[in-house]
Chain A
């Protein structure tokens, strides 16, 4: 008699109890898989948003991330195109590259002509075509709505801003933005109208620059080389919702040449950052290693340092740690529940089958034989429960995908559909299988051990 067939028949003896025990394992398995898949999708979703915006690796002038954010002219990288060409042509780095592009980051103040409000912004001088390619990265096939960056379709004096910037500068109507709240009316509205002399100055500026058009305008004030203020008037062609709220409220992108003109004037144009986006995130360490060796060779004079996407965005690591800790806590709780449920079932089964255990022992079944009888039942419960749990999890995950329930991950300003694609995590599925079967067997082991050590005479007398 195959021990598993015997175990199956014994489990069938009390179908309702077996069903309840199986239900605990099924729900435990499905919950762990869905939670694991959900945690995975949060992780990959966040990572995709960060990689789309800051690439996998960034090269800076040494000291820039700590001291140079407010001093782009002091920490600018000269002849960035030479470095980028070397990176693109490198035999090791080239095949890994998705995008290598220069950027000029600077801080400034933005205002909309005719409005009294202004806001501090993070200006980004970008190569528009590269920016579109950066945003197209989706290494994990995350269902994030693809962002279209329209800077490339417009001329030199144009800008793309975050929805938050548009909201604060009250440009929502002009940009025909839906889901962009209007400010409530305040008592200061009447008194805060633009003073006459400023309106006159603006009119004069418009006259100097040429005829007014209907495109919303944005004035960006920044500190140029040497500390003198400089201003650029840009036509806002698009407001794009950025992944992170912090980005959304400060994002102003313009053509790199325009930004360089604003910061460096007629001087040598530099960039603050060389953004490198790889085909796959797993290539970060190899690419970084190669870049390090290039920096001690051909790039030595440039005095650069490297930061990866995770170092640049510590919030990512914190969010993922929190999600993983929650997952580990819930998974542990579920495993404990399964453990107690199976153990309780086995204890009752052993009580009911005490006389049977005595009979088997009298007939010559060794203690280990009795132990295995019950452990096999636990194992069978674990295997069947796990299979049913996977099926249930697949059905729920499919339902989630179909309904596309939107949500905003922590710290993000965009909504993405809730997904739990655990099938892309074979290790999670394997661990859940091994875990559930082991937990079921361990749960059965302790009562089985007691059964194996029963006094045979007492067991035979049991009623």
Chain B
């Protein structure tokens, strides 16, 4: 089953008067319940591709199908509602809301979904327990370490049981030991919750865990036969 399907997708940006291709003619399928890494050097287009998959950017050309829905012609309101229920985001800088506690940050997607209070309480407690932060529930992000913040962000991305979790360089701001812990956690939760993770990263530790590896260079997918990466589907 395919969770992401892109066909001849292109995205250009204007740099001054010059039109620069961020991604060109990308055709890609990502299987459901997979741990997929988009890899490549800086400027290869992996973040742009992740943004397009996450419905926070629109392609200039091509066809885009996410979670079985053809989304490229949807309005902003429809896309926003779709993101709220089907996609979870994990960011490089964690992007937690600083005025909310860890517990409240995790609760936020459930509030957007209109989940009843009792259900919210149960699910948030359970999720914080799953990421090992039950004892930090009342802490604000500035009272947590980088690794703890990223755990909260993972919990927040998973709490509403989305079809797809997108993570942009999730280990880039963490030391290697913490990064390994985060990768292991994400891998375990992906298997446990039977969901799909798509990463943009050039972290070899993360790439080594990938079920699927998509190599990008200059906005295009590098064919598998020229793939230099060591990651292989598991």
Contact = CB atoms under 8 A, between A and B. Distances in A.
Q: Do A and B come from one complex?
A: yes
Interface string A349-367: 0000001101111111111
Contacts of B91: 359, 460
Nearest to B94: A359
Q: Which of A10, A359, A363 has the most CB of B within 10 A?
A: A363
Nearest to A6: B99
A10 B57 CA distance: 28
A366 to B, nearest CB: 5
A175 interface: no
Contacts of A364: 80-85, 87, 109, 112
B108 interface: yes
Contacts of B57: 456-457
Nearest to B111: A1
B184 interface: no
A10 B98 CA distance: 9
Q: How many of chain A's residues touch chain B, expressed as a range?
A: 20 to 34
A155 B128 CA distance: 98
A1 B100 contact: yes
A359 B56 CA distance: 10
A10 B156 CA distance: 20
Contact of A365 (B82, B100, B107, B112): B112
Interface string A86-115: 000000000000000000000000000000
A139 B77 CA distance: 60
Q: Which of A1, A358, A362, A366 has the most CB of B within 10 A?
A: A362
A9 B141 CA distance: 14
B95 interface: yes
Contacts of A6: 99-100
Contact of B95 (A9, A12, A355, A367): A355
A366 B77 contact: yes
A10 B140 CA distance: 13
Q: Secondary structure at chain A's binding surface: helix, strand, loop or mixed?
A: helix
A422 to B, nearest CB: 36
Contacts of A12: 99
B93 A355 contact: yes
Q: How many of chain B's residues touch chain A, expressed as a range?
A: 20 to 34
Contact of A359 (B51, B82, B87, B95): B95
Given A364-B85, A366-B77, A457 B95 contact: no
Contacts of B85: 364
A207 B20 CA distance: 119
A363 B109 CA distance: 7
Nearest to A369: B112
Nearest to A453: B76
Given A355-B95, A356-B95, A456-B56, A361 B80 contact: yes
B160 to A, nearest CB: 9
A10 B112 contact: no
Given A1-B107, A460-B91, A356 B97 contact: yes
B163 interface: no
Contacts of A365: 80, 84, 112
Interface string A443-463: 000000000000011001000
B54 interface: yes
Contacts of B107: 1
Interface in B48-85: 51, 54, 56-57, 76-77, 80-85
B110 to A, nearest CB: 10
A363 B89 contact: yes
Contacts of A16: none
A83 to B, nearest CB: 76
Contacts of A10: 99
Nearest to B166: A362
B104 interface: yes
Contact of B99 (A9, A362, A367, A457): A9
Contacts of B111: 1
Nearest to A461: B47
A253 to B, nearest CB: 73
Given A1-B108, A1-B111, A460-B91, A363 B83 contact: yes
18 contacts: A1-B100, A6-B99, A9-B100, A355-B95, A356-B97, A361-B56, A362-B56, A362-B89, A363-B108, A363-B112, A363-B156, A364-B83, A364-B87, A365-B84, A366-B80, A367-B80, A456-B56, A457-B51
Interface of B: 51, 54, 56-57, 76-77, 80-85, 87, 89, 91, 93, 95, 97-100, 104, 107-109, 111-112, 156
